[in-house]
Amino acid sequence: MPQHPRTARTLAVAAATVALALTAPTALAAPTALAAPAPAPASAPSAGGADPVPALVEGRDTAAPQLVTGLAEPAPGDPVRAARDHLAAHPERYRVDTGELTELASTPGPDGRRTVRFEQRHGGIPVLGGQYLVHLTGQGDAQKVESVGGRYFTGLTAPTTPAVPAEALRAAALDALSDPQQRTGATAEDLGAVVLPGGPGRLTEHYTVRPGSGGTGGTGATAREVYVDATTGTVALAHDARAPRPAAATTAPAPGAATADGLRPATGTAPDAHGRPAAVNIAQRPDGGYQLTDLTRPAAVTTYDAGGRDAGDFDHVMPADAVPASSPTPAFPAATGDDGATDAHVNAGIVYDFYRDRLGRNGLDGQGGPIVSVVNVSDHGAPFPNAFWDGGKMVYGALPGHYPFSAALDVSGHEMTHAVIDHTANLTYFGQSGAMNEALADYFGNAIEVTARGLAMDDPTAALLGESLCRTGTPQDCANRRLDDHRTTVDDYLGTLDVDTGGVHLNSTIFGGALWDVRRTLDPLTADRVVYHALADYLTPSDDFLAGRDAVLAAGRDQGLDKRQLRAVATAFDAHGIRAGWQQRLGMDARTLLPAAPNGQATPVAANGHWVLLADGPDGNGLYTGTTDGRGKPVRLSPQDGRFHSWAATDGTTAVWEAQGGTGGPGKEILTAPLTGTGPVRSLLRTTDSLDGLQVSGPDTAYALTDHTTGRTRAYLVHDGAPAVGIPLPEGHGLFGLTLRDGLIGWTETWQDGDRTVTAPTVYSIAAGKVTAQYTAHAPAGSGPSRTSSTLLAGGRLVWLDTPVDPAGRSTIRSGAVDGSGIVDVLAASSPQAPRFATLTASDQAVSYQLTSAKPAGGWTNAALPKLWQVPLAGGPAQRVSCDRGGQYAVAADRGTRVVWLDATAGRADLVTRERPAGGC
């Protein structure tokens, strides 16, 4: 339940996680980039006498509506066929191609209702997050369609056959492991083709990549779900594995198998974590011993004691030699309690009973499948300070000085609800859908404990989570979350593309608090049924907070809530700012140029009043350009030729970029076109070498290529369409960080000097045909060796970042004259705002960069999210570019002090701009 260490990504993998962020559910759930603003969703404020349940909610990135309610249209006969026929009979209303729907589930709901859940296909291939649901009432000839909704992505035109060989796709998936050490011995399980939605969609191959033994193991080496673009061979989406795994790896005995295994039901006693005796349902083995297997329910409940073994050994697998917690007699020893096994075992039964008795659900998977818990895991021998659902079982550790996590019923309820979610709405564990996943786990974990303890909702401890885990102190001090924290979207939403898997814990109580308010306002049993019905029968994987609100309201009406009660539900969501248009009420100080740039490789570039960005638009996935002052409509630059267009550069008049994959043959091509979007697209180069830099300035284009066979990197210049000319470097020298401006080329040159690697910011004059500046003696005396990067020509000078090898982590921003006559410090490493691991961007006036922080000891805060800073090129104090809440990424300098960047404040990756820094925040 607490923030799992695996989800608190380190800054070192920020690039990989941004790649995830930009293609992940928040982006999928957001309006189609570049499209006209979508009509406001119909979740109207609760004021006035309007029906709180919207009759129609438009889809936000599709022509298919997200929700249509208030229907009573006859649909007799077999529910699945009737649901399909209903959709087919109303093509104008739903815009759904029923030939592309596959039945996922047909589940009974309250009052004889039934929900038929379809999965969307594209040419027979599953569409990630594409689900459409038909809600039926009555039976037989009296059966009617009551409501319809979900996420069906219209306009998918992606190819359905891969252009890249399977081996290349698999290799790309393995490369997605951020730690190269983990690649040794790593495996990639091919789960088949999947189409990612967004614009025309992207055909991908889905792999579960498991790190090899070369990785750190345990908490640092979780499995990853990786989707590789089958047209280009590049990673389109990657995130930590959370999908349910086949139960094969879990050796829990099924009810039928139990007797086959020779297990016989028995009862016994075991001390709990507090040392109190508890009655437990157990099983006797053929050898006469006893184990924690409860055979009294359709779902066998088994609890393992890992004996301090590493948590990583149990992540998605059950070791062959793992055994359930055991005892020679029915009286289990004290260790069974101290390790948390007794509580995990008892709590699993309580959670099962809650779902069955209160909500009519047969176990975590709804089919009475086995329920398995593992307690007493460690982090390489150290305490494992967390608990998690791994897709097949619960795994519990303990905080030092605390009771084991399994000793808290709300923690058990939380983790087991993750399992229920995986088997119902399967909310994607990222961004808003991930925060709802956490919120629902909190809601039911809390509800299960409050119910079991017989607490009133106004009890001072009723809103607390994990409050019983401390050995000393008050519950209030002990709780690690509380559902009455009154957080709202507008005041508190922390948008991030990287930390905490897109803020799944940072933002969970905004939604969870609204649900808890519903429970406090309605009677608890009714609220639990409404929320469960929303989860099981309305929500779909990539839903956002607003869709969650609509789902709960629609479920409330199904459950017979009257208008007054429905208004109370709406008011609870209003009170937490979950209402249409909340993103517009954030009071951002940056101007949005393009909402929701949903693309894995999206990094904007800008110059001379224009930006260029890879985006999914109405004209398909490709490079788009627009003005940095927001005037005019963005236009598409790259042709729709089935290739992947990326890595653009611009001087504000012309763009150059790389195209690869598709039917374009092997290797890649450098293309160029004017930013008007109307001029011809011309080819500059075809190559199979690796492209390491691409720059354009007026009549000149420069690029760097690395020859795969020799490993040598060379820069090339194309002047006014003439043949490319290689720029000579001394033997043994290489370069990176190519920059081009007004007849000058810059780079960081590297060579070996004995066992020392020299890096030297260098300027080359095209007219003179020679190097005019090379700064090798840049390290101040006494500062030790350093390395340089991020070379940029700006303001008539060469700018670079100087990072001491000494691991202090801060870098100095320097600039040097282009004739080699001297260096000045733009911002010294001693400044508290000095960059860390940054990439610079510069105009003639100012240098901008992202400043990242280490995770604060008390957990992530807004101040600790990545923020942008700017410093005058001539030197001076650094200022915050924007005071907006939320993470700020991928900054690109335009002219003057204006920059554009990807801003996560509104819970997605918006392309935004400011003309000058906001200053002190």
Judged by CB under 5 A, the chain residues 329 through 368 that form the site for Zn ion are: none
Catalytic residue among 415, 438, 467, 658: 415
Nearest CB to Zn ion, comparing residues 516 and 657:
516
Say how many C-beta atoms besides its own lie within 10 A of residue 399's C-beta.
Answer: 17
505 carries an active-site annotation: yes
Nearest CB to Zn ion, comparing residues 441 and 637:
441
Alpha carbons 115 and 554: distance in angstroms, whole number:
13
Burial of 526 (0-12, 13-18, 19+ CB in 10 A): middle
Nearest CB to Zn ion, comparing residues 437 and 748:
437
| Region binding Zn ion by CB under 5 A among candidate stretches 12-20, 436-444, 651-659, 781-789 | 436-444
Work out how close the CB of 4 gets to Zn ion at its nearest, in angstroms, rounded to a whole number: 7
Q: Which amino acid is at 741?
A: R
Given CA atoms 257, 262, 265, 266 in this order, what sign does their dihedral have? negative
415 carries an active-site annotation: yes
Place of tokens 């897709």: 391
Work out how close the CB of 415 gets to Zn ion at its nearest, in angstroms, rounded to a whole number: 7
| Region binding Zn ion by CB under 5 A among candidate stretches 402-410, 441-449, 772-780, 838-846 | 441-449
Place of tokens 């459409």: 132
Work out how close the CB of 623 gets to Zn ion at its nearest, in angstroms, rounded to a whole number: 38
Alpha carbons 248 and 353: distance in angstroms, whole number:
25
Q: Which amino acid is at 143?
A: Q
Q: What is the largest CA-CA distance in the chain?
A: 91
Work out how close the CB of 427 gets to Zn ion at its nearest, in angstroms, rounded to a whole number: 11
Alpha carbons 112 and 271: distance in angstroms, whole number:
43
Work out how close the CB of 853 gets to Zn ion at its nearest, in angstroms, rounded to a whole number: 24
Alpha carbons 547 and 563: distance in angstroms, whole number:
20
- Of all helices (H) and strands (E), which one includes residue 374? strand 371-375
Place of tokens 């300098």: 893
Closest to 406 in 3D by CA, of 325, 462, 289: 325
Q: Which amino acid is at 134?
A: V
Work out how close the CB of 410 gets to Zn ion at its nearest, in angstroms, rounded to a whole number: 11
Closest to 363 in 3D by CA, of 351, 373, 374: 351
Alpha carbons 889 and 364: distance in angstroms, whole number:
39
Count of residues near Zn ion by CB under 5 A: 1
| Region binding Zn ion by CB under 5 A among candidate stretches 5-13, 437-445, 446-454, 837-845 | 437-445
Work out how close the CB of 382 gets to Zn ion at its nearest, in angstroms, rounded to a whole number: 22
Nearest CB to Zn ion, comparing residues 268 and 431:
431
Work out how close the CB of 8 gets to Zn ion at its nearest, in angstroms, rounded to a whole number: 13
* Closest residue to bound Zn ion by CB: 441
Work out how close the CB of 627 gets to Zn ion at its nearest, in angstroms, rounded to a whole number: 43
Alpha carbons 269 and 332: distance in angstroms, whole number:
6
Q: Helices 508-521 and 524-537, interaxial angle, to 10°?
A: 130
DSSP collapsed to 3 states, 119-157: EEEECCEEEEEEEEEEEEECCHHHCEEEEEEEECCCCCC
Place of tokens 């779909």: 540
Nearest CB to Zn ion, comparing residues 446 and 905:
446
Say how many C-beta atoms besides its own lie within 10 A of residue 889's C-beta.
Answer: 24
The answer to whether residues 649 and 656 touch, using CB atoms and an 8 Å cutoff, is yes
Show the tokens assigned to 414. 């939380």
Nearest CB to Zn ion, comparing residues 417 and 879:
417
Nearest CB to Zn ion, comparing residues 311 and 441:
441
Q: Which amino acid is at 827?
A: L
Q: List the strands of the sheet with 734-741, edge to edge.
A: 734-741, 744-753, 756-765, 770-774
DSSP line for 764-820: EETTTTEEEEE----SPTTS--EEEEEEEEETTEEEEEEEESSTT-B-EEEEEETTS
Place of tokens 């070369």: 214
Nearest CB to Zn ion, comparing residues 177 and 515:
515
Catalytic residue among 418, 505, 533, 778: 505
Show the tokens assigned to 888. 């700020």
Work out how close the CB of 388 gets to Zn ion at its nearest, in angstroms, rounded to a whole number: 7
Nearest CB to Zn ion, comparing residues 302 and 386:
386
Nearest CB to Zn ion, comparing residues 439 and 478:
439
| Region binding Zn ion by CB under 5 A among candidate stretches 438-446, 555-563, 822-830, 880-888 | 438-446
CA 835 to chain CA mean position, Å: 25
Q: What is the pairing mode between strands 394-396 and 371-375? A: parallel
Alpha carbons 512 and 464: distance in angstroms, whole number:
12
Nearest CB to Zn ion, comparing residues 388 and 624:
388
Work out how close the CB of 1 gets to Zn ion at its nearest, in angstroms, rounded to a whole number: 5
| Region binding Zn ion by CB under 5 A among candidate stretches 97-105, 439-447, 634-642, 678-686 | 439-447
| Region binding Zn ion by CB under 5 A among candidate stretches 205-213, 268-276, 306-314, 435-443 | 435-443
Q: Which residues contact 448 (CB under 8 A, 6 or more apart)?
A: 350, 351, 354, 409, 410, 412, 413
The answer to whether residues 546 and 511 touch, using CB atoms and an 8 Å cutoff, is no
DSSP collapsed to 3 states, 36-105: CCCCCCCCCCCCCCCCCCCCEECCCCCCCCCEECCCCEECCCCHHHHHHHHHHHCHHHHCCCHHHEEEEE
- Of all helices (H) and strands (E), which one includes residue 191? strand 187-196
Q: Which residues contact 803 (CB under 8 A, 6 or more apart)?
A: 786, 787, 788, 789, 811, 812
Nearest CB to Zn ion, comparing residues 195 and 499:
499
Say how many C-beta atoms besides its own lie within 10 A of residue 54's C-beta.
Answer: 23
Nearest CB to Zn ion, comparing residues 441 and 510:
441
Show the tokens assigned to 187. 């495996």
Q: What are phi and psi of 481, to 5 degrees?
A: -150, 155
Work out how close the CB of 906 gets to Zn ion at its nearest, in angstroms, rounded to a whole number: 24
Work out how close the CB of 2 gets to Zn ion at its nearest, in angstroms, rounded to a whole number: 8
Q: Which residues bind Zn ion (CB under 5 A)?
A: 441
Catalytic residue IDs: 415, 505
